[in-house]
Each structure stands twice: as structure tokens, then as C-alpha cells.
């Protein structure tokens, strides 16, 4: 894989991670806030708990996207002989 293609794919993976994190962070934050509010915790505590959960989801989404990408590239290289 040449450098230009690698950089392009890496940028696409990063964009996918950021998009996935942005799409899911707000719903995760709202659910955590709702659950913690029911338990009587102060609002700031629910917000602070949502930050590591949102970042964890972002990392998980990035791992899934990167794994899918690299497995796909390995299969393509295997099938097409690295062309």
C-alpha cells in the first residue's frame, strides 16, 4: 500500500471515528444524565460520568472501523495478489 493511499484511508478512519463519536455522544450523555437524575445525583455528576462513557464509545467505534478496514485490506490483498 503506497503512502498516499495509506494517509487517505487513515484520514477516512479518523473521520469515521469522529462522526460515530459525535452521533452517539449526545444520546449517551442524555441517558446517563437521566439515570443519574433518577438516583438523586446532582446534575454535574451525571454529566461527568457521561464523558468517559462517550470517549469509550468513540474508542470502540474507532477500533471497529479500523479492524474492518484492515481486515478488508488483508482480504483484498490476498484475493487480488496485492495489486
Mean pLDDT of 21-38: 72
Q: Is 83 helix (H, G, I), strand (E, B) or coil?
A: coil
How would residue 53 be classed by pLDDT, with cut points 50, 70 and 90? Answer: confident
pLDDT for res 1: 55
pLDDT for res 44: 66
pTM over 0.85: no
How would residue 78 be classed by pLDDT, with cut points 50, 70 and 90? Answer: confident
pLDDT for res 42: 67
Question: 68 Cβ partners below 8 Å, 6+ apart?
Answer: none
List of long-range contacts for 68-73, beta carbons under 8 Å, 24+ apart: 69/9, 69/13, 73/1, 73/9
What is the CB neighbour count within 10 angstroms for residue 76?
A: 12
Concatenate the DSSP letters of all residues of 16-75 into one string. HHHHHHHHHHHHHHHHHHHHHHHTT--HHHHHHHHHHHHHHHHHHHHHHHHHHHHHHHHH
Mean pLDDT of 72-80: 75
pLDDT for res 21: 66
32 pLDDT more than 70: yes
Amino acid at each position: 500500500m503506497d503512502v498516499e493511499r495509506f494517509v487517505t484511508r487513515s484520514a477516512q478512519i479518523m473521520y469515521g471515528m469522529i462522526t460515530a463519536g459525535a452521533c452517539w455522544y449526545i444520546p449517551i450523555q442524555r441517558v446517563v444524565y437521566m439515570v443519574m437524575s433518577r438516583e438523586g445525583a446532582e446534575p454535574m455528576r451525571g454529566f461527568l460520568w457521561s464523558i468517559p462513557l462517550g470517549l469509550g464509545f468513540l474508542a470502540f467505534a474507532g477500533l471497529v472501523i479500523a479492524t474492518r478496514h484492515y481486515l478488508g485490506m488483508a482480504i483484498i490483498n490476498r484475493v487480488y495478489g496485492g495489486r
